[in-house]
């Protein structure tokens, strides 16, 4: 028993000594280092403060280089001395990455405010003005041979100098793209049979030129299944521009019908040929979209050559002849005063209406009172408006430049419903007028008084 009494304190003493020694070893390996905090948040521990300061200086220099302007650090780091073992230290090479997110750099910049809302910042006022000018230019949507008379922004746009986060400062080009296209991500479109760039552009509210540029297209030929990137532009600003231009337009030829009671056939005696005219016009566009179209001057370059056809009336050999000899149904007034440039039933019987010559902007009048049942763009018809007169009678007016009434409107005979144009599959300004009775096309001449 005496033996045990001695052993116990010795063991305790040895443990104490060992612990002391081990603690000493560990303490000896601890080094003096700094806990680095940014915006109160502990980020990492380093041995050398200068490494952190160097990194900050480098970030500031890079940002100043990027925006060409003095940059201040809004949240300077704080250092707290700590004693840590080597494994708690952050490798110097990892420091830049760990600081990048946390540093807040501020700079004096020029904000572009649209209706009071800050949209984008530029290094200085001249840069902001330059960006606005360029965005304006891109949104004017000027075509070849057109000249800008006047352009203005419809929004209240201001440039104000303020302290902002340097991250908000964009390069001029980026800022222009942002203002002009909005920030919508591009969508992908797969080309289907019958697609054309023009149709795709229309359906996505963009322009052929934009599609070509975005997809590096050199021609307008599309392949089935081809994938197109389309960024539907949703500009932050609206440019209202008045432009003047000059273009060559076709003058559609007229068709003279010679009735011959001795034959039954329909024969072309002389081929028609379109003439040409030079048209000087003035357009009002909003972000490139035509809002108003005015012809300033027209001069004929070459006169059209009349098409002459012989229409046999001996029997009902030609369907259109038969319908024309039918009883006068009447009741419609002329939608437009002008020469008939192409009759109903021409083009091998495929012409479903009659063409009346007119100038872009001329008023088109309702042939009879009724209700507007559609006013839209429809393929080759271009802008087309339909009026239902009741009793199974409808009239349609195609290739319009503009509608003057909208769907659902009750119109009276002679009321202006649209303007003459050349939209859709048309070689020159004219009205394509159709009469539909009981679901079939009829010869309008039988209905006009
Ligand atoms: Zn026609």
Q: What is the pLDDT of residues 419-437, one digit of tens each?
A: 999 988 888 899 999 999 8
> What is the Å distance from ligand 1's center to 354 Cα?
5
| pLDDT digits 0-9 by tens, 203-219 | 877 778 778 877 888 87
Cα(395) to ligand 1 centroid in Å equals 13
* Ligand 1 center from residue 372 Cα (angstroms): 20
Specify the DSSP element, H or E, that contains 134: helix 125-140
Q: How far is the CA of 411 from the centre of ligand 1 (A)?
A: 23
| CA 91 / ligand 1 centre spacing (Å) | 79
CA 424 to ligand 1 centroid distance, Å: 11
Q: Are 273 and 418 in the same domain?
A: yes
Specify the long-range contacts of residues 199-205, CB closer than 8 Å, at least 24 apart.
200/228, 200/230, 202/377, 204/230, 204/232, 205/232, 205/233
Structural contact between residues 368 and 447, judged by C-beta atoms closer than 8 angstroms = no
- Say if 17 falls within a structural domain: no
How does 269-281 read in b/e, with b if 16+ C-beta sit within 10 Å? eeebebbebebeb
Q: Alpha-carbon distance 207 to 230, whole Å?
A: 10
The answer to the question of residue 424 being in a domain is: yes
432 Cα to the center of ligand 1, angstroms = 4
In which domain, by residue range, is 57 found?
Answer: 25-103
Please state, in angstroms and as integers, the Cα–Cα distance from residue 41 to each residue in 56, 99, 102, 167, following that order. Answer: 16, 11, 9, 21
Residue tagged 């405010």 (tokens) = 113
Query: Where does a domain end: 157, 181, 205?
Result: 181
- Among candidate residues 233, 268, 300, the one where a domain is terminated: 233
Domain total in the chain: 4
Domain for residue 3, yes or no?
no
Q: Are 308 and 256 a contacting pair, CB within 8 Å? A: yes
pLDDT at 432: 95
193, 231, 288 from 196: Cα distances, Å? 9, 17, 20
Ligand 1 mean position to 146 CA, how many Å? 29
Q: Are residues 79 and 194 in the same domain?
A: no
| Ligand 1 geometric centre to CA of 332 (Å) | 18
Q: Is residue 135 located within the same domain as residue 78?
A: no
**Cα of 365 to ligand 1 centre, how many Å?**
17
User: What's the pLDDT band for 317 if we cut at 50, 70, 90?
Assistant: very low
For 155, the 3-state DSSP assignment is coil
Could you tell me if 248 and 397 lie in one domain?
A: yes
What's the gap in Å between 435 CA and the centre of ligand 1?
A: 12
Ligand 1: distance of its center to the CA of 273 in Å? 16
| Same domain assignment for residues 112 and 136 | yes
Q: Which of left, alpha, beta for 216 (phi over 0: left; psi -120 to 50: alpha)?
A: left
- Ligand 1 centre distance from Cα of residue 254 (Å): 12
Q: What are the tens digits of pLDDT across the range 104-149?
A: 999 999 999 999 999 899 999 999 999 999 999 888 877 778 888 9
Does residue 9 belong to any structural domain of this protein? no
- Residue 353's nearest CA partner among 311, 385, 309 is 385
* CA-based nearest residue to 100, from 130, 140, 60: 60
How many angstroms does the Cα of residue 350 sit away from the middle of ligand 1? 10
pLDDT digits (tens, 9 = 90+) for 253-283: 887 878 787 776 667 788 888 899 999 999 9
- Supply the mean pLDDT for the chain: 85
Instruction: Find the 445 Cα to ligand 1 centroid distance in Å.
Output: 14
Q: What is the DSSP letter of 426?
A: -
Question: Ligand 1 centre and the CA of 397: distance in Å?
Answer: 10
Span from the CA of 353 to the centroid of ligand 1 (angstroms): 6
Residue in 401, 418, 398 with CA at minimum distance from that of residue 290: 401
């Amino acid at each position: 028993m005496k033996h045990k009494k001695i052993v116990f304190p010795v063991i305790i003493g040895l443990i104490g000594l060992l612990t002391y020694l081990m603690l000493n070893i560990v303490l000896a390996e601890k080094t003096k280092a700094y806990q680095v905090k940014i915006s109160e948040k502990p980020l990492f521990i380093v041995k050398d403060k200068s490494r952190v300061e160097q990194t900050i200086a480098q970030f500031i220099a890079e940002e100043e280089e990027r925006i060409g302007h003095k940059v201040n650090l809004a949240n300077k780091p704080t250092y707290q001395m700590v004693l840590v073992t080597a494994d708690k230290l952050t490798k110097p090479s990892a420091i830049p990455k760990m600081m990048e997110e946390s540093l807040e750099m501020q700079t004096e910049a020029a904000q572009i405010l649209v209706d009071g809302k800050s949209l984008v910042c530029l290094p200085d006022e001249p840069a902001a003005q330059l960006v606005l000018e360029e965005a304006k230019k891109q949104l004017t949507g000027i075509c070849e041979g057109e000249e800008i008379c006047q352009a203005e922004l419809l929004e209240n746009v201001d440039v104000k100098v303020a302290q902002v986060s340097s991250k908000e400062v964009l390069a001029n080009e980026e800022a222009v793209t942002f203002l002009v296209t909005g920030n919508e991500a591009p969508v992908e479109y797969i080309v289907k049979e019958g697609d054309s760039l023009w149709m795709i552009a229309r359906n996505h509210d963009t322009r052929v030129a934009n599609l070509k540029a975005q997809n590096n297209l050199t021609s307008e030929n599309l392949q089935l299944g081809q994938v197109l990137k389309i960024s539907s532009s949703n500009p932050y600003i609206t440019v209202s521009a008045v432009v003047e231009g000059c273009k060559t337009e076709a003058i559609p030829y007229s068709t003279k019908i010679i009735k011959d009671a001795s034959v039954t056939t329909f024969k072309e005696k002389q081929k028609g040929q379109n003439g040409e005219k030079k048209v000087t016009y003035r357009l009002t566009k909003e972000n490139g979209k035509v809002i108003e179209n005015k012809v300033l001057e027209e001069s004929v370059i070459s006169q059209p050559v009349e098409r002459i056809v012989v229409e046999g009336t001996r029997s009902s050999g030609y369907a259109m002849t038969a319908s024309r000899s039918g009883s006068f149904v009447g009741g419609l007034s002329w939608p437009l005063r002008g020469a008939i440039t192409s009759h109903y039933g021409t083009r091998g019987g495929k012409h479903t209406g009659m063409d009346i010559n007119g100038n872009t902007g001329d008023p088109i009048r309702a042939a009879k009172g009724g209700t507007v049942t559609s006013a839209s763009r429809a393929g080759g018809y271009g802008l087309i408006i339909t009026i239902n007169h009741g009793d199974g009678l409808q009239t349609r007016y195609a290739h319009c430049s503009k509608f003057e009434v909208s769907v659902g409107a009750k119109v009276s005979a002679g009321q202006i419903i649209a303007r003459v144009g050349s939209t859709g599959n048309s070689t020159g300004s004219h009205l394509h007028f159709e009469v539909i009775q009981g679901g079939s096309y009829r010869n309008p001449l039988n209905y006009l008084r």
